[in-house]
């Protein structure tokens, strides 16, 4: 007798109607839309708009804005000697700043979304610490805000913060020139430096998203 081969069953209509490939597994929303961490360092003289632009960039990229001046003002509330130091326009103790910033940078929101760092580093030893902390992850850019002296004076006198007196402002400018500009020079070699056009009396909404006004020197 012959070997009876089973007749292949005709595929049912519903099988033919089915797509060739199994449906793709449901997309993992976290993986698909997880924002990239953005790490930016805002630099510029007092009154140049580090906080104003830092907040805008934070809204644009979803990375937390970290004002080191704010951290210090909060810390100095019950530390009169630190408050007095800030009132002179001089930089406060390195160890304190490094500890506060380090603590903030290890928090989960920063780990996940990055940061817009405003007011740090301001001197070379802080820059070296920053480079060491960021050795594995890098920094996307340094945002350098350059504004004329005249416009800085105008903005500072309009702001009226406790350390915005003419005398303190002069000293903060000197501290910026002597201690912070060398950091900027150093960062031109270690990180990309962006110089948006921000010298107009009314700051324009200038972000990397509005590319035309950004130039890298």
DSSP 21: S
Crossing angle of helices 80-88 and 166-175, rounded to 10°: 80
Cα 142 to Cα 114: distance, rounded to the nearest angstrom: 14
Q: In this chain, which of 53, 115, 120, 169 binds ligand AMP, going by CB under 6 A?
A: 120
Cα 130 to Cα 120: distance, rounded to the nearest angstrom: 9
Helix (H), strand (E) counts: the chain:
11, 5
> Which residue stretch of 17-25, 115-123, 148-156, 191-199 sits at the interface with ligand AMP (rule: CB under 6 A)?
115-123
Do the beta carbons of residue 74 and residue 92 sit within 8 Å?
A: no
91 contacts ligand AMP (rule: CB under 6 A): yes
86 contacts ligand AMP (rule: CB under 6 A): yes
83 contacts ligand AMP (rule: CB under 6 A): no
Strand order, beta sheet including 193-194 = 65-67, 114-118, 38-43, 141-144, 193-194
* Smallest distance from ligand AMP to CB 145, Å: 12
**Contact map string, positions 27 to 66, toward ligand AMP, x by CB under 6 A:** -------------------x--------------------
119 contacts ligand AMP (rule: CB under 6 A): yes
Q: In this chain, which of 44, 49, 54, 89 binds ligand AMP, going by CB under 6 A?
A: 89
Crossing angle of helices 124-133 and 181-190, rounded to 10°: 30
For ligand AMP, the binding residues in 152-171 under the rule CB under 6 A are: 163
Using alpha carbons, select from 214, 201, 82, 96 the residue that is nearest to residue 144.
214
130 contacts ligand AMP (rule: CB under 6 A): no
* Smallest distance from ligand AMP to CB 211, Å: 27
Q: In this chain, which of 48, 172, 184, 187 binds ligand AMP, going by CB under 6 A?
A: 172
Chain residues that interact with ligand AMP, rule: CB under 6 A: 46, 68-69, 72, 86, 89-92, 97, 119-122, 126, 163, 172
């Amino acid at each position: 007798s012959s070997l009876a081969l089973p007749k292949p069953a005709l595929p049912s209509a519903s099988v033919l109607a089915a797509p060739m490939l199994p449906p793709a597994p449901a997309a993992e929303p976290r993986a698909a839309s997880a924002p990239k961490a953005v790490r930016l360092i805002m630099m510029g003289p007092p009154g140049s708009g580090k906080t104003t632009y830092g907040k805008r960039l934070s809204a644009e990229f979803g990375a937390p804005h970290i004002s080191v001046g704010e951290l210090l003002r909060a810390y100095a509330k019950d530390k009169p000697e630190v408050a007095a130091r800030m009132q002179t326009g001089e930089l406060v103790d390195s160890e304190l700043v490094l500890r506060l910033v380090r603590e903030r940078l290890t928090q989960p929101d920063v780990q996940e979304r990055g940061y817009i760092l405003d007011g740090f580093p301001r001197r070379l030893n802080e820059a070296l610490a920053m480079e060491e902390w960021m050795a594995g992850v890098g920094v996307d850019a340094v945002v350098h805000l350059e504004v004329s002296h005249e416009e800085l004076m105008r903005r500072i006198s309009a702001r009226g913060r406790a350390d915005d007196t003419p005398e303190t402002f002069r000293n903060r400018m000197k501290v910026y020139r002597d201690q912070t500009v060398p950091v900027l020079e150093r960062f031109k070699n270690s990180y990309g430096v962006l110089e948006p056009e921000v010298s107009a009396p009314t700051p324009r909404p200038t972000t990397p998203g509005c590319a035309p006004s950004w130039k890298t020197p």
